Each structure stands twice: as C-alpha cells, then as structure tokens.
Amino acid sequence: MKRWKFFKEGIKNLKQVGTVTRSSKFVCKEMLSHIDFSKAKVIIELGAGDGVITKHILKQMRPDAKLITFEILDKFIPDLESIQDERLIVAHDSAERMGYYLEQIGADKTDAIVSALPFVLLPDALREDILQKSSEYLVEGGPFVQLHYSLSKKKYYKEAFGNVDVNFVPLNIPPAFVLVSEKRA
Ligand SMILES: C[S@@+](CC[C@H](N)C(=O)[O-])C[C@H]1O[C@@H](n2cnc3c(N)ncnc32)[C@H](O)[C@@H]1O
C-alpha cells in the first residue's frame, strides 16, 4: 500500500489504526531484536496494518517457522494476502482469537508476540482479553513486544506479565517506544 493510502486509512479509521504513518525500519528493527529467530517456530503478530513489520519478520524467520498475523481492517487484507510466503497465515480477525489460529496449525503455544495494536484506543475489556490470551499462549521465556507512542499505559503490561522494559526509538513519526515483557512462570 502506498504511503498516502495508509495515511488515508489511518485518518478514516483512527480509532482502530491509532496512527497515520506505518512503522519506520528503525522501529521494526528494535521490535524484532527481542526475538530469538534461530529458535522461534511460531510467531504471532497483532495489528499488521499493510504488513511493514510482517515482511521484516518473514525475512528473519526460520524456513520451518510459521507466522500468524492478525488484522481486522478490510482495506489492509489484500496487501497482507499478496505477500507470497507459505510460512505466513493471514488472520482477518481480531487478536483475541489467537488460540483458534494456533490450533489450526497444530500448535498450543507461540514463541513470540509482536504487537502494534493501539491499546490506548481499544475498549478495556478487549485489551484485557488480548493481553490475558497473549500471556496464556506465550511459551515461558517468550517475549511480548509492544509498540507505543507514549509511556502512559506501561502499566497494562506490568499488570499482565509482571515485568516490562522500555526502549526508545526516536527515528519514527511519531517517536516511538518499544515495550518488552517476558512470559514468566
Ligand atoms: C498502529 S497500526 C500498525 C500497523 C503496522 N503494523 C505498523 O506498525 O505500521 C495498528 C493496526 O492494528 C489493527 N487492529 C486494531 N484492532 C485490532 C484487533 N482487535 N485485532 C487485530 N488488529 C487490530 C488496526 O486495524 C491497525 O492496522
């Protein structure tokens, strides 16, 4: 999708998308630096947009790994489905349905979750459900990596995972924070 089209979709659906620009390559790099790609066999992405992070994940993924990527907005689905990669499963569905898609590929856990969901704008009950499921389906030691544009909601992850680290990425519009929590026993 062209940059201006993403901008248009962002404006039209601001409550769902939460931004009008896709993530920079610096954000993608920071987010993915928390994943051990040599070991990860199943990765989940939440809020794929038109697939900017998705493509970076696929570049680094093992040949035998699977990526399940969630996106609810119809307009972004053709871009995701046009990515020619057998390891990618595009879930045109809401993120809390991750258990169903894991079951479809015969997995009961995911090794990592990468999320750009605009949690600040989602209803509390939906956010809590998605974070509870993320914690339930992550393997022990697995990272939950979340993009934010402020630190005001850091507590969400502290509450869900009991821990959260903050990384700042200035080279993004707007400057971004990458929050990382680890699934612990
Ligand atoms: C900030 S955009 C991120 C797009 C892209 N990953 C990036 O980093 O540029 C957030 C995306 O989350 C999607 N989204 C919002 N709520 C969702 C939900 N409940 N389940 C799946 N995707 C959702 C929006 O439609 C939007 O495309």
Instruction: Calculate how far, in angstroms, residue 16's C-alpha sits from the geometric centre of ligand 1.
Output: 7
Instruction: Calculate how far, in angstroms, residue 38's C-alpha sits from the geometric centre of ligand 1.
Output: 26
Instruction: Calculate how far, in angstroms, residue 106's C-alpha sits from the geometric centre of ligand 1.
Output: 25
Atom number in ligand 1 closest to CA 76: 27
Look-up of token digits 């079951």: 103
Candidates 67, 31, 35; CA nearest to 172 is: 31
Buried b (16+ CB within 10 A) or exposed e, 115-130: bbbbbeebeeeebbbb
**Residues 181-185: what's their mean pLDDT?**
95
Candidates 163, 158, 125, 9; CA nearest to 73 is: 9
Atom number in ligand 1 closest to CA 18: 1
Which pLDDT does position 2 carry in this prediction? 78
Residue 94 has pLDDT above 90, yes or no: yes
Q: How far apart are CA 79 and CA 52, in angstroms?
A: 10
Q: What is the pLDDT of residues 161-173, one digit of tens each?
A: 999 999 999 999 9
Domain locations in the chain as residue ranges: 3-182
Which pLDDT does position 10 carry in this prediction? 77
Q: How far apart are CA 112 and CA 92, in angstroms?
A: 20
Atom number in ligand 1 closest to CA 21: 9
Look-up of token digits 């992550």: 138
CA dihedral 9, 66, 43, 172 (to 10 degrees): -40
Q: 105: pLDDT confidence band, cut at 50, 70 and 90? A: very high
Atom number in ligand 1 closest to CA 54: 6
DSSP letters, 62-76, are: -TT-EEEEE---GGG
Q: Using a cut of 0.85, tell me whether the model's pTM lies above it.
A: yes
Which pLDDT does position 18 carry in this prediction? 76
**Residues 94-100: what's their mean pLDDT?**
98
Q: What is the pLDDT of residues 18-60, one digit of tens each?
A: 777 889 999 999 999 999 999 999 999 999 999 999 999 999 9
**CATH ID of 3-182, from 3.40.50.150, 3.30.565.10, 3.10.270.10, 3.40.50.300:** 3.40.50.150
Instruction: Calculate how far, in angstroms, residue 118's C-alpha sits from the geometric centre of ligand 1.
Output: 7
Residue 149: φ, ψ to 5°:
-110, 0
- Whose alpha carbon is nearest atom 18 of ligand 1? 94
State if residue 70 touches ligand 1 by the CB under 6 angstroms criterion: yes
Q: 8: pLDDT confidence band, cut at 50, 70 and 90? A: confident
